[in-house]
A and B are shown apart, each in its own frame.
Chain A
């Protein structure tokens, strides 16, 4: 009898993979964006099964919220949804390459020995992540702030008439 965590993992994994396949295969670009939201939500569920509560919330807020809205806006503004989501000439070879990539990586991952830890995960991660961000990784934190500022100004300049 599988436990709740196992069931949750398989359900979330199935949702994520099926929705991701939908993103790259459906004809209607708008439907692809909705599948993308579903895939992001599935990944948020996977983060919950991995006991990463803060990241699950960030995933829902930033990916399923902000990035999905931005993508749908771009689809609306470019009015190409009626033309569908066509594939280019190299789609066949690329599909073969992607399958080979997945099989090869899975083979390597399953034959590797992982240095598993016996420690229990933290019951809640927000405090520990905040501590790590402003102590151990403070330089990366500041650089990420500058990067976001540059991206914001760049998007502003690009989006201007």
Chain B
């Protein structure tokens, strides 16, 4: 049995679920950002697979994946800068200890 579109889509769903679990269950903010990157990758796999099997000559999904990568790069740079800034002032990267706004 050769590889079909459904193989890639199910793989994307599994990867997204792994990233979802990591993003909601980790305490370290850097680990949460890494899990979010896994979710971005899952979405990219889905986009490129649909582009390959549904619109092979238009490349719509591939162009969208490039924009996803652009936003992911900006998010990683800014998110890690914010984490380092918080570490500097609060000496922690655990999200449950960042409770400055808690009443």
Set of chain B residues within 8 Å of A71, measured between Cβ atoms: 30, 33-34, 37, 76, 80
Set of chain B residues within 8 Å of A85, measured between Cβ atoms: 26, 28, 31
**Shortest CB–CB separation between residue A15 and chain B, in angstroms?**
11
Q: Who on chain B is nearest to A151 by CB?
A: B74
Which of the residues A62, A110, A151 comes within 8 Å of B69, measured between beta carbons?
A62
Number of A-B contacts (CB under 8 A): 244
Set of chain A residues within 8 Å of B81, measured between Cβ atoms: 154-156, 158-159
Majority SS of interface residues in chain B? helix
CA separation between A63 and B76, bound complex, in Å?
10
Set of chain A residues within 8 Å of B71, measured between Cβ atoms: 144, 147
CB of A91 within 8 A of CB of B80, answer no
Interface residue tally of chain B, by bracket? Answer: 35 or more
Q: Who on chain B is nearest to A44 by CB?
A: B41
From 19 to 41 in chain B, residues with beta carbon under 8 angstroms from any chain A beta carbon are 19-22, 24-28, 30-31, 33-35, 37-38, 41
Give residues in B with beta carbon < 8 Å to A: 1-3, 5-11, 13-22, 24-28, 30-31, 33-35, 37-38, 41, 44-45, 48-49, 51-60, 62-63, 65-67, 69-78, 80-85, 87-88, 92-94, 96
Give residues in A with beta carbon < 8 Å to B: 2-3, 5-6, 9, 13, 16-17, 20-21, 23-24, 29, 32-33, 36, 39-40, 43, 46-47, 49-52, 54-55, 58-59, 62-63, 66-67, 70-71, 73-75, 77-78, 80, 83, 85-88, 90-91, 94-95, 97-99, 101-102, 105-106, 109-110, 114-117, 119-122, 125, 128-129, 132-133, 137, 140, 144, 147-148, 150-152, 154-156, 158-159, 161
